Structure 1
Amino acid sequence: MTKIFIDAGHGGSDPGATGNGLQEKDVTLAIALKLRDILNSDYEGHSVMLSRTTDQTLSLSQRTNMANSWGADYLVSVHINAGGGTGFESYTYNGSYSGKAETNRLRAIVHNAIVNETEFRDRGKKEANFHMVRESAMPAVLTENGFIDNAADAAALKSDAFLNKIARGHAEGLASALGLTLKDVNDGQGYIEVVVDSLWTYNTANWNDKAVIVNQGEVFTVIRDKFPVDGGYMYQIKSGLYITANPTYVRYYTK
């Protein structure tokens, strides 16, 4: 069982970077929660621990101590950048240590998957003396997902659909790097078509967590087959969002 530790940067009394009406601590938490949900819904052979699941103040040492005590196999610390740039970059520890080549190999897989999924400008695979990657006892990466003080990046970071892309890029990269098994959700590839005028999608498998409205005739690829949610059923679609499985609203078919 592969243990994955997900750290949502900052939190509580530490807002992190701010700009364009956003606080880093809120965006990192949203991405971390989405990443956890995608890993658990789409993959198997792993367990996940988060440094925080709410707006909580934690020191850097508390975070790495938590991961080290748990015996995590991999750590990913999620952050948002600032300082006048744009795009995505990732960091590993810049010191000399056993396993550095493997740490950088795994990071490259995660990094490339995030860039491919988000289409962020690739600012490069970097190294730095950051606590989260220095004090972790396991291979670790720190991701910087756009610039909160860049208007275009911030506009994307305000979109739940784009946060889903960031989380899915992380999930696909981690799955590939760590050899996670994709759950067998369908015998054949399934699709759904919206058959009513308009319909809500959901960020998570929660009827109250509304995302964006989709319209009649739109077709989506199903990545998780029908499953029960609070008295009803949902599908998960390729964007990472969820949608009702009620045949009154959607038509399911395979090709």
Structure 2
Amino acid sequence: MKLYLDPGHGGSDPGAQGNGLNEKDVTLDIALRIRSILNNQYENVTIRMSRTSDVSKSLSQRTNDANSWGADYFVSIHCNAFNGSARGYEDYIYSGLSNSSQTARYRDIMHREITQINELPNRGKKKANFHVLRETAMPAFLSENGFIDHNSDAARMKQSSWKQKVAQGHANGIAEAFKLKRKPDTGDTLYKVIAGSFQSKKNADDQVNFLQSKGIDSYVETVTISGERWYRVQAGAFSSRDNAEAHLETVKRTGVNGFILAV
């Protein structure tokens, strides 16, 4: 498939600003990580980017380039800003589309995969009359990955590990939506099955107890992200992605949503 990745803003347009950050820099970092994950891990995917450095590109240049190239999917990466009080993740498709459209079906997959891993409040799936959603000839998706003027969201944006998670969520969604075939495992990566990530230790312990009642071994792993403590429920770790995927399906059959974290 042909994927067009669009890091929002760039060059003379910094985008949203806050906490010492420019949106244009965060979006480019995440988009380059998405490209790297897909190129390294999947077969038969060709990626074109509206920019790969800090240069100016008009909205028309972006959509015209994607249209003339014949992209199968357009993914635009952004960060939000409001008044310093709002935070979280949301995504958009064109307002003229129905919830049963192919674009909406792709977005449902993207939204699920990204919100499972990005550790941000989920502000929901939305629609808008944005140029890059309206003027693209192919299905198009725009993500708003946190609020740059919110202290907690911005602290995450400064962390390479968090931007990698956001990129992985986008890559997982694209791979699932377009049924991309994974390249053979090299044996250098460990695939952890994560069956939930909580800020409450009790909620994490309850998840472990539930999974163990279903015969699935799991335990709580504590991680610190942007100064905040999170409790992850790990339900297995595998050197083979296929084995991890199979175990994840076993976890999901219990009614627990999970994801795979490659380390």
TM-score (norm 1): 0.73
Asked if structure 1 preserves the Cα contact closer than 8 Å seen for 2:89 and 2:120, the reply is: yes
TM alignment of 1:81-120, pairs within 5 A = 81-83=80-82, 84-96=85-97, 101-120=101-120
1:23 alignment counterpart = 22
In structure 1, the gaps of 5 or more residues are: 193-219, 225-237, 242-255
Task: Look up the equivalent residue of 1:109 and give its one-letter code.
Answer: I
In structure 2, C-alpha distance between the alignment counterparts of 1:10 and 1:223, rounded to whole Å: 38
In structure 2, C-alpha distance between the alignment counterparts of 1:111 and 1:10, rounded to whole Å: 22
Higher strand share: 1
Higher helix share: 2
In structure 2, C-alpha distance between the alignment counterparts of 1:122 and 1:66, rounded to whole Å: 31
In structure 1, C-alpha distance between the alignment counterparts of 2:54 and 2:97, rounded to whole Å: 34
SS of the equivalent of 2:75 reads strand
> CA deviation digits over 1:185-214, x for unaligned, max 9?
14x79659xxxxxxxxxxxxxxxxxxxxxx
> CA deviation digits over 1:85-132, x for unaligned, max 9?
1110000000158x9611001011011101001122110100000001
TM alignment of 1:51-200, pairs within 5 A = 51-83=50-82, 84-96=85-97, 101-186=101-186, 191=190
2:2 alignment counterpart = 3
- Go from structure 1 to structure 2 and tell me whether the alpha carbon gap of 1:120 and 1:223 turns closer, same or farther (over 3 Å shift): farther
Asked if structure 1 preserves the Cα contact closer than 8 Å seen for 2:16 and 2:79, the reply is: yes
> CA deviation digits over 1:57-100, x for unaligned, max 9?
00000000010010000000000000031110000000158x96
Give, in angstroms, the shift of residue 146 of structure 1.
0.3
Matched, 1:34 2:33: yes
TM alignment of 1:169-248, pairs within 5 A = 169-186=169-186, 191=190
2:223 alignment counterpart = none
Asked if structure 2 preserves the Cα contact closer than 8 Å seen for 1:8 and 1:52, the reply is: yes
2:12 alignment counterpart = 13
In structure 1, C-alpha distance between the alignment counterparts of 2:100 and 2:63, rounded to whole Å: 18
In structure 2, C-alpha distance between the alignment counterparts of 1:89 and 1:33, rounded to whole Å: 20
Task: Look up the equivalent residue of 2:91 and give its one-letter code.
Answer: S
2:246 alignment counterpart = none
- Go from structure 1 to structure 2 and tell me whether the alpha carbon gap of 1:223 and 1:6 turns closer, same or farther (over 3 Å shift): farther
In structure 1, C-alpha distance between the alignment counterparts of 2:179 and 2:66, rounded to whole Å: 20
In structure 2, C-alpha distance between the alignment counterparts of 1:87 and 1:110, rounded to whole Å: 16
In structure 2, C-alpha distance between the alignment counterparts of 1:82 and 1:120, rounded to whole Å: 14
> CA deviation digits over 1:145-197, x for unaligned, max 9?
000000000000000000000000000000001111111114x79659xxxxx
In structure 1, C-alpha distance between the alignment counterparts of 2:114 and 2:72, rounded to whole Å: 20
Give, in angstroms, the shift of residue 221 of structure 1.
6.3
In structure 2, C-alpha distance between the alignment counterparts of 1:96 and 1:48, rounded to whole Å: 25
Give, in angstroms, the shift of residue 14 of structure 1.
0.1
TM-score (norm 2): 0.71
In structure 2, the gaps of 5 or more residues are: 192-236, 242-259
Asked if structure 1 preserves the Cα contact closer than 8 Å seen for 2:189 and 2:262, the reply is: no
Percentage identity across paired residues of the two chains: 52
Asked if structure 2 preserves the Cα contact closer than 8 Å seen for 1:31 and 1:163, the reply is: yes
Coordinate RMSD, CA, aligned: 2.3
Task: Look up the equivalent residue of 1:46 and give its one-letter code.
Answer: V
In structure 2, C-alpha distance between the alignment counterparts of 1:86 and 1:190, rounded to whole Å: 32
Give, in angstroms, the shift of residue 222 of structure 1.
5.6
- Go from structure 1 to structure 2 and tell me whether the alpha carbon gap of 1:189 and 1:31 turns closer, same or farther (over 3 Å shift): closer
- Go from structure 1 to structure 2 and tell me whether the alpha carbon gap of 1:175 and 1:96 turns closer, same or farther (over 3 Å shift): closer
SS of the equivalent of 2:116 reads helix
